Amino acid sequence: MSSEIRLSLEEMRYISLVQDLTGATIRDCIVDEENNTLIF
C-alpha cells in the first residue's frame, strides 16, 4: 500500500511563494484556518 500526500492548489501556491522568497525546499504545507497559520 502506498500513501500519497495530495496538495491543494492553495497549498502549492504557498509552497511556491515561500520557496521563491527563501530559497528553501518545502516538502509539505498545512493550512490551519482555525488558528490562521501556515505550517511548512
User: Rounded to whole angstroms, how far apart are CA atoms 40 and 15?
Assistant: 8
Written as one letter, the residue type at 13 is R
Strands 30-32 and 37-39: antiparallel
pLDDT tens for 17-33 read 999 999 999 999 999 99
Which residue from 35, 30, 6 is spatially nearest to 18, judged by alpha carbons?
30
- Return the pLDDT at 4: 80
- Return the pLDDT at 25: 97
Half-sphere exposure of 2 (CA within 13 A, CB side): 3
Q: Is the pTM of this model over 0.75?
A: yes
Q: Which has the higher per-residue pLDDT, 1 or 32? A: 32
- Return the pLDDT at 5: 76
